[in-house]
Chains A and B, each alone.
Chain A
Amino acid sequence: MRRPASAFAWRSALAGLFALAALAAPAGANSILSVGGFGEPQLEEAARLRALGGAGAAEHGPRDISLVNPASLSDVDRILLQITALPAARRISASSGISETAYETTFPSARGVIALPGGIVIAGSYVAGTDAEFRVVRSENQGVPSTVEINGTGGMNFLRASVARRMAPPLRIGVDWEVISGSYRELWFRTFSDPGLTPARDTLETRYPKKARWRFGAQFVHEGWTLGGVFETSQNLPVEQRQSTGGASETAVVGRLKYPSGLALGISAPLRTRLRAVAQYRRQNWARSSFPSTLVDFRAQQRFSLGIERTRPPEGAGSGSIWSRIPLRVGGYFLQWPDLLPRAGASDISGGTVAVDERALTFGAGIVTKDQGGGLDLSLELGTRGDKDALGVTEKFARLGISFLVSDETWRGSFHR
């Protein structure tokens, strides 16, 4: 086995990548529509599946893992580490005619997978559920004029332990034990034009205890076709709100959040040699009863995903140009946010709500290492959301998904064979 001198540099680069991911905040700023409700729903999948519109319920294979379906881990035969970064640019346009561009990076997921004897595969992952990070500056004229800057952080996150196994040649099953974590925190900094008034720093925190729920997944594979399904259980979370300023704070339980059950159904179908199509429907049963609020209503969160992939050539196939060997993916999704937000200019939802629908086209490619266990995948998502008339703003976004997958073989140096 040849070990080039640059092996150390490669390992250093990988170590640097994971260190960067560990040190970075779980998520950066996000959609302006995430300033209320639960925040922007996140797609946790890695770049390979993001490029297919997020349709991962029917994925399986030694390295073709999905975060939607725990059964997709069943065919993993080694140790895998996967992390995804998501730099994004957004163009926000308001009904007033002015626009602004924002940039941010999020880390939607990170995962480690270990194949054990007996065909059992276990995994641990961090998954972003929603992202409520934002920063706004607004002039206030209620009473003494002031300028309020609000820095919001947090959202819903999941810490997940998974186990999966191929029970029979066509049947794969998996289970996730998932801890619902996260919180919402806002720092308010209010300044006054009157120099006699002292700036105020206040804090608003909304949190809930960490509680776990189950996710069950299965896949049925037959002659290149795969059907996948996932069911998620619900969980009740008492929500506590703490409003505080220097020397004073008020804490109250503001309600009970019922994190709803959900499901995902997916299919992977061979179209031609090296060409397949994937589709997925995913739903979380958010409803008005999930969490009573005068500022946000809820509907079921639904994501419709569709993708086509030109897969890489099989091992041993003849050589060709690099473009003929690189897998290519194209897809799209339509996402219905669960949050039903107040209309533009309204102070609450008593005057009606507006739904947020998000649609995007996705593209991607990837490279696989010689050992077939690691690789680098890229995705590009171009989408829109919002409604300038009803919500007052629209957003156009471009997201670059970058996922790195490394196996134990890759780490040992087969990367460089």
Chain B
Amino acid sequence: MRLNPILGLLLVCLVAAPLPGCSRKAEKLVGAGRVIRGPGGLGTTTRVQPTPDRDTYVEPGTADFGDLLIVGSDTLFTARILMAVASWSVPSDTLPGFSLGQVWLEVPPDTTFFEGGNVNLHLTGSSWDTTSVAWPGPALSTLLGSAVDDRLTPGAFVLPLNPAVYDSMKRWAQAPGTVPGFALERPGQGLLAYKSKGSRFRVEYTHTVSGSPKTDTLSTTVTQNFYLHSPIAPPPAGTESALILGGIYKAGLALHFPLDSVPAKVSIDEALLVLKQVVGPPFNLASSDTLAVVQVRRIELPWGESVTEKALLGVDNATTASRLLRLAYTAADSTIRITIPGPLIREWASTSSSNQGFFLSLVHRTDPRRKFLIGSRESTAPAQLHVTYTDLPPGRF
């Protein structure tokens, strides 16, 4: 008997049979009721919506080292710009045919604010330490120059200085450490904004070169500039019914939610911070609001509602969550919704001492005055933290 053809056929069947049989099709709903895992079933998905047990708003300090310099006043808000120079470039008056021309300060403008007005440059009465400088900062001393910034001409704002400043510059060039610093102020109401990079002192002079007079300019770069502003007014007491997010003071929210009811080892299905705007114009998609960003950071230090400054919170540098306002804002109920990473909630649930809460800030580059008033826990629309979690899979045995 020749078995080869039969064996061949059977071998082919043998090799091929497992292939269709490897289908993962199996019981879905028909037998699913046989998954029996105790009274808790397959685990309960629980949603909690705690409201803050502490909330307030704070300002990030009165010294702003950002890329925007603000000077002037807006009702209770007052700001001045401080500048410092590390080394000076000053033309020598011993050059052949030396003749001093103009001496001025050049500051590149920023279009954020252009409420024109008179701007004064003062020598400050003392120098400062950038790690501790705060409003009002060093006293203003000698007036070095003054000019109206009306933004009528393109280019940098030019603030002419008194010719006598040239003599001071010569001394400062010899001993740069002896000059305390400079301050720009804008008396009266109105704000002006400048860019933090590109400011310089300039000296124009004429001297003789190869028998002919020649006009030159020497520039000295401003190596440090920032602005100081008056403290947020009125200061937060922790009992306001509306919390200020953003605005000219760049106020941020400090929120603490109790998470004791969330078990430590669960699957986090949702962690959503919900803020209700209670006062003020709603988010406008057609405005500069579309570029605003809401950022969430975790607070590291214990705090109370009487806190007024961000520095006391120990806010983490790393951003926990960040979202464009236009994506976070729901116009229907005027709420801002920001998703928080689940692992952070799980960490806080497992170690309650690490839960010091959230710090929220608004980055609104095109309209620094823009602010949102958020309902506090004292209001009828407090912030909420929506947390949904599911128990870990129940054991098989």
Residues of A within 8 A of B (CB): 4, 6, 10, 13-14, 16-17, 20, 24, 28-29, 32-33, 35-37, 85, 87-88, 92-94, 98-100, 102-105, 107, 134-138, 140, 142-146, 148, 150, 184, 186, 188, 190, 192, 196-200, 202-204, 206, 239, 241, 243-250, 254-255, 291, 293-296, 319, 322, 325, 341-342, 344-348, 367, 369-370, 376, 378, 391-393, 400, 402, 404, 416
Contacts and interface: CB of A to CB of B under 8 A. Distances in A.
A94 B30 contact: yes
Contacts of A102: 25-27
Interface residues of B, number: 63
A244 B15 contact: no
Interface in B140-185: none
- Shortest 6 CB-CB distances between A and B: which pairs? A105-B21, A32-B31, A87-B21, A138-B32, A243-B392, A144-B45
B7 A367 contact: yes
Contacts of B270: 196-198
Contact of A254 (B15, B33, B395): B395
Contacts, number: 252
B330 to A, nearest CB: 12
B17 A87 contact: yes
Contacts of B32: 136-138
B393 A203 contact: yes
A85 B269 contact: no
A30 to B, nearest CB: 8
Contacts of B328: none
25 contacts: A10-B8, A20-B15, A29-B25, A105-B18, A107-B18, A135-B27, A137-B29, A142-B42, A142-B43, A143-B45, A144-B45, A188-B42, A190-B267, A196-B270, A199-B269, A203-B393, A243-B392, A245-B266, A245-B392, A247-B342, A248-B350, A295-B396, A295-B397, A376-B14, A393-B33
Contacts of A36: 34-36, 396
A43 B23 CA distance: 21
Contact of B4 (A6, A150, A250, A293): A6
A28 B22 contact: yes
Nearest to B33: A392
Interface centre among B10, B346, B350 (most CB of A within 10 A): B10
B57 to A, nearest CB: 27
Contacts of A402: 13-14, 17
B27 A32 contact: yes
Given A197-B269, A319-B1, A376-B10, A142 B17 contact: no
A129 B267 CA distance: 33
B267 A20 contact: no
A145 B4 CA distance: 60
Given A200-B267, A367-B10, A294 B38 contact: yes
Contact of A393 (B13, B34, B343): B34
Interface in B3-61: 3-4, 6-8, 10-15, 17-18, 20-47
Contacts of B390: 143, 146, 190, 200, 202
Contact of B34 (A144, A197, A243, A392): A392
B365 interface: no
Contact of A103 (B14, B15, B21, B44): B21
B214 interface: no
A143 B22 contact: no
A87 B42 contact: no
A103 B28 CA distance: 13
Contact of A246 (B24, B34, B44, B342): B342
Contacts of B28: 100, 135-137
Contacts of B21: 28, 87-88, 103-105
Contacts of B10: 367, 376, 378
Given A32-B34, A295-B36, A376 B27 contact: no
A190 B44 CA distance: 11
B26 A135 contact: yes
Interface in B339-378: 342-343, 346, 350
Contacts of B3: 367, 369-370
Contact of A248 (B20, B47, B392): B392
Contacts of A35: 31, 34-36
Nearest to B10: A376
B388 interface: yes
Contacts of A143: 44-47, 390
A33 B386 CA distance: 39
